[in-house]
Amino acid sequence: MHQQNGLFCTFVLLFLYFSPVMAELKGIEPADLETIIRQGVPVIDIRTSDEWKATGTIPSSHKLTFFRKDGKSDPQQWLTEFKKIVPDSDQQFVLVCRSGGRTGMVGQFLYNKIGMKNVLHLEHGILSWLEQNKPVTR
């Protein structure tokens, strides 16, 4: 329960601070993600290390936790690491979380904070990937 409260509080703070305009994030399905990966578009898995261990990760994805287990985050530190993967604000990239909720929050943050307009996210997160028996790296 404490973890959920922390996550909710972090989201509310991010939303209130960074959300003068709502971004329209494009959701993609697992089959589309496979095509995008072959094109060299970066995939960023924002889940926690425990989640990565539990399910594995999409091959070639970058592991970059946004929300810690306690639900808190350090957006500026995360952004520093993110820019090493996606240095150009016009570059397309894909966000992945467990079920699609956190990627919406992080995508909104990126749109409002640094003007990222080519944010994609995996619809229903890694769960949809696993449901379709797509490969993972453990």
99: domain CATH number is 3.40.250.10
138 lies in a domain?
A: no
In the chain, the amino acid numbered 106 is V
Higher pLDDT, 12 or 111: 111
Q: What is the pLDDT of residues 21-53, one digit of tens each?
A: 556 689 999 999 999 999 999 999 999 999 999
Task: Give ∠ CA 120-17-78 in degrees, rounded to 5.
Answer: 55
88 lies in a domain?
A: yes
78 lies in a domain?
A: yes
137 lies in a domain?
A: no
pLDDT confidence of residue 25: 83
Q: What is the mean pLDDT of residues 77-82?
A: 97
Structural domain count of the chain: 1
Distances (CA, A) of 72 to 9, 10, 51, 64: 8, 6, 16, 14
**What residue numbers bound the domain in which 72 lies?**
2-131
Closest CA to 122 of 22, 70, 68, 55: 55
pLDDT confidence of residue 16: 39
